[in-house]
Chains A and B, each alone.
Chain A
Amino acid sequence: MIVGQREPRVDGYDKATGRTKYYEDRMPANALYVRIKHAEKAHAIVRSIDISAAAAIPGVVKVLTCFDVPNLPFATAGHPWSMDPGHRDTADRLLLNRHVRYWGDDVAVVIAENEVAANQGVRALKVDYEELPFVLDAQEAMKDGAPQLHDGFPNNILKHTQNIKGDYQEAIKEPGLIKVEGWYDTPTVQHAHIENFGCFAYMENGRIVVVASTQIPHIIRRIVAQAVGRPWGDIEIIKPYIGGGFGNKQDALYEPLCAWCTTQVGGRPVRIDCSREETFVSNRVRHAIRYHIISWVRKDGTIAARKVDLYSNQGAYASHGHSIAAKGLNAIPQKYPCPAYEGNAWTVYTNRPAAGAMRGYGMPQANYADEANIDDCAKAVGIDPWEFRKLNIMPKGFHDPFSGNTNYYDTYRECMAKGAEIMDYERKRKEYGHDTGNIRRGIGLATFWYNTAVYPISLETSSNRMQLNLDGTVTMQCGETEIGQGADTAYAQMTAEAIGLKSYKDVHVISCQDTDITPTGTGAYASRQTYVAGFSIRQTADLLKEKILKRAQSLTRQMPYNMDIVDGNIIRREDKMVLMSLQELAMTAQYDTVNSEHITAESTYTIRNNAYSFGCTFAEVEVDIAMCKAQVTRILNVHDCGKLINPALAEAQVHGGQSMAIGYGLSEQLIFDEKTGKPLNNNLLDYKLSTFMDHPRLEAAFIENPEPTSPFGTKSLGEPPACSPAPAIRNAILHATGVAIDRLPINPHVLFAELSKAGLIHDSWLDKEEK
């Protein structure tokens, strides 16, 4: 078995030696610097831009403004194209915008021979704005009379959808129900991959080539073509290794602008390299979503009805838009099914940075709100939170007719039981929660709902090309991208297993996608890669194997049916006799002077399945009351993501998600000045990303129930780890202190306010302690 082994990464050596080439390491030496003038207004109309001083700076080649760009509104979300116009993303921005909709919007560029001149040029631009009132909060933006961001979207509502099940109004009339209501607020956060976004573009034979730090090269080709108004075939996108993406790079960021800039300087190479400050504000952020949940609980602990309203802060441009809010709206009634559910989701434009995809795609928000409310419900009826969840969570056999997903196993209960055992939950739940001193211990849990890939909402397709090399190894290419998660290693393992090679090292995965060469795939998102690539790997491997055995037929005088490929050799099935190696076969076929053959296979598989991927987090905290600081002392995620392709990489994936989610729970948020709309902490010093000091050892455990729809029994793991740690921490703090905190991040500012409100912090507190 090659699949299921803890193999080292295929790109490990190059990354450990610093040889791996990211976009900037491939930069043409003569690339011109494009630097962007970002608006310093939250909402305004650009009346004019005086470029004379900038243009006069030595080294400045060209200045282009929002008055120069083509009038071709485009959508940036990294979604597959839809043949149904009603199912397409909202095209609401231009390459540079006259209508400034957030502090940081793009109004002009300076193209220069060197970086200093380009930056000086940007500073020398004189922009005359007509200022407009702005709005930063989603619910404020929905009010009549609020500043309007886009034509055609009254009250700034990009979209509103409902999910209704049963009769909520009728259900809540049941006598004896306990009402548990809360408002749960999540912050604007950013992906903060360590490589900022960047790209360069040039023209070759009249076509535009863009080399970009992106997760989605094939989708970017389409968006660039639409934005600059050229045929799609005129665009070539090259995706080298990238320094993390987490969804930010599942969006057209500045690839379209860069492509257009090269056309404005005669096809010379031009580069756009976002600074960290730009990455925080002028790329994408996670949607801040405010949930309002009302649960009606019976005394026996079952849930009779729930009402969920959520307000998703879209920021200035649609990007991924309502997809994120809708995912939360529809996940909640699946995870805790109850007879009556009434849900409403609004996605609302505001004058904040555009929100897009970010690891978890709405689920960290939804699971935070849902799991906070569930803990509040358990507390209200006096049942242990684990017991309460066992009572109410999605049962085995649950089927969602829309996605076709079935909960084939009793996954949630299995994951929670495993987590409770590892953490010694029952003992700690009794022991903790009674501290009266300054340090108070608590243990909490939270579950998460996730699925795999985007079927049936969008197209799910994966293409694959395999080539038998003359040494018997196989080169493999697909459009699903390596972005750090280890996809290439998983592909190598699956390919070697599917063909019958000796080792995953006998597979050479072409890591870098080039849309001129690479079979079309839609890229890295929706935790789809291993699942969807699995289908096309299995199918293409079968095709390659068929060709190999057909060729072997003439060389070995054996019928293909009687042969197989094992450990890189063609063997006779019955007696396992080695007939010839793949190397001999490849050489003989290639250098046959009568009938030469280079053996390759290529195929596309349209995936019409989806797969639930569930799990939970257990967290232990110590709350320092006087310091208003919550410290996570132990954290465990338990996942059922089907069969693990590579357990070492799977664990690593969980660690990364946990770390990001601990930041989400305790420290991360982008702050905006209420008076101006200006972002105040768009740098890595003031934005509190988790460091080495901020969390304990990260623990991961798995339940490996094989996913029946996957040819490798596997399903999503990329995003799920980030979905449940924050609510588990919140619930542990509730256990430790008795205080339910309904906004993230639970930093000292929030804790001070909440602990004070609960009467835990008061002047006499220290005296009392001394007595």
Chain B
Amino acid sequence: MSQYKVVHCNINGKDVERMVDVRASLTDMLRNEYHLTSVKKGCEVGECGACNVLINGEAFNSCIYLAVWAEGKTILTLEGLEGPNGELSDIQQAFIDETAIQCGFCTPGFIMTAAEILNSGKEYSDEELRKLLSGHLCRCTGYENIFRAVKKTMLKRLEAAKA
């Protein structure tokens, strides 16, 4: 097998292709080939959640997902969540409003999992929300305000869906 392979995929709404090292993780590909530096590295073994992105709408730790597996997939990183003129999505705004951000290093991963949760359109109990978010580690916030941001946005969206 050749050490390099072309990977075609859709990243943040754009069809792209790039030659990548078959040993590279999706984190490496997104950071190094596409300069999507919101994808953070905190452990590189799937423990901390900082590198989390959505692959075909589902949250994955991109550090333990090989770049070559992204072939044909649709990938969303935090850069893809904002509008074309830098408009914030509701969940990003909620993170700011609820003081859910401190050092900011776990933030992108958290927001992408929150996006997955919110995109489900389901109403979760507090316990369910906590469990769904528990794949991410944060050392600054104690998770308190992150929880508030996600819950507030969930309720807002549910309210809007009813109207």
Contacts and interface: CB of A to CB of B under 8 A. Distances in A.
Interface string A378-407: 000000000000000000000000000000
A453 B111 CA distance: 35
B142 A275 contact: no
Contacts of B107: 15-16, 18
B139 A693 contact: no
Contact of A655 (B38, B86, B130, B145): B145
Nearest to A721: B142
Contact of B104 (A116, A241, A697): A241
A21 interface: yes
Given A191-B139, A656-B142, A692-B134, A685 B47 contact: yes
10 contacts: A8-B99, A15-B101, A16-B92, A16-B107, A19-B38, A243-B40, A652-B99, A656-B141, A683-B45, A693-B130
B47 A483 contact: no
B142 A195 contact: no
Given A242-B103, A243-B40, A692-B136, A652 B141 contact: yes
Nearest to B81: A17
A655 B99 CA distance: 11
A242 B95 CA distance: 19
Given A21-B37, A683-B43, A243 B108 contact: no
A24 B23 contact: no
Interface string A224-266: 0000000000000000011110100000000000000000000
Interface in B124-163: 130-131, 133-134, 136-145, 147
A13 B88 contact: yes
Shortest Cβ-Cβ A-B pairs, 6 listed: A18-B38, A484-B103, A243-B105, A659-B142, A15-B104, A655-B142
Contacts of A692: 130-131, 133-134, 136, 143, 147
A16 B93 contact: yes
Interface of A: 8-9, 11-22, 24-25, 116, 191-196, 241-244, 246, 275-276, 483-486, 648-649, 651-652, 655-660, 683-685, 689-693, 695, 697-698
Given A12-B96, A243-B40, A684-B137, A658 B105 contact: no
Given A18-B37, A194-B42, A195-B40, A660 B139 contact: yes
Given A194-B40, A659-B142, A17 B82 contact: yes
Contacts of A196: 41-42
Nearest to A483: B103
B113 to A, nearest CB: 11
A656 B139 contact: yes
B75 interface: no
B62 interface: no
Contacts of B105: 22, 193-195, 243-244, 484
A191, A485, A691, A692, most chain B CB atoms within 10 A: A692
A684 B44 contact: no
A486 B82 CA distance: 23
Contacts of A17: 38, 78-79, 81-82, 86, 88, 92
B104 A693 contact: no
A352 B118 CA distance: 45
A630 B108 CA distance: 32
B102 A25 contact: no
Interface residues of B, number: 51
A693 B131 CA distance: 6
A191 B105 CA distance: 15
B139 A648 contact: no
B150 to A, nearest CB: 10
A39 to B, nearest CB: 23
A700 to B, nearest CB: 9
Contacts of B42: 194-196, 243, 276, 684
B68 interface: no
Nearest to B105: A243
B96 A16 contact: yes
Contacts of B81: 17
Contact of A11 (B40, B104, B147): B104
Interface in B33-61: 36-45, 47-48, 50
B26 interface: no
Interface string B101-123: 11111111001000000000000
A698 to B, nearest CB: 4
A395 B47 CA distance: 47
Nearest to A658: B142
Given A9-B96, A17-B92, A195-B42, A689 B137 contact: yes
Of A8, A12, A16, A275, which is in contact with the most chain B CB atoms at under 10 Å from its CB?
Answer: A16
B162 to A, nearest CB: 27
Nearest to A17: B82
Contacts of B108: 18
B17 interface: no
Contacts of A655: 141-145
Contacts of B104: 11, 14-15, 20, 241, 243, 484
Nearest to B21: A116
Contacts of A697: 144
Nearest to A657: B142
B47 A194 contact: no
A483 B105 CA distance: 11
A194 B47 CA distance: 11
Contacts of B92: 16-17
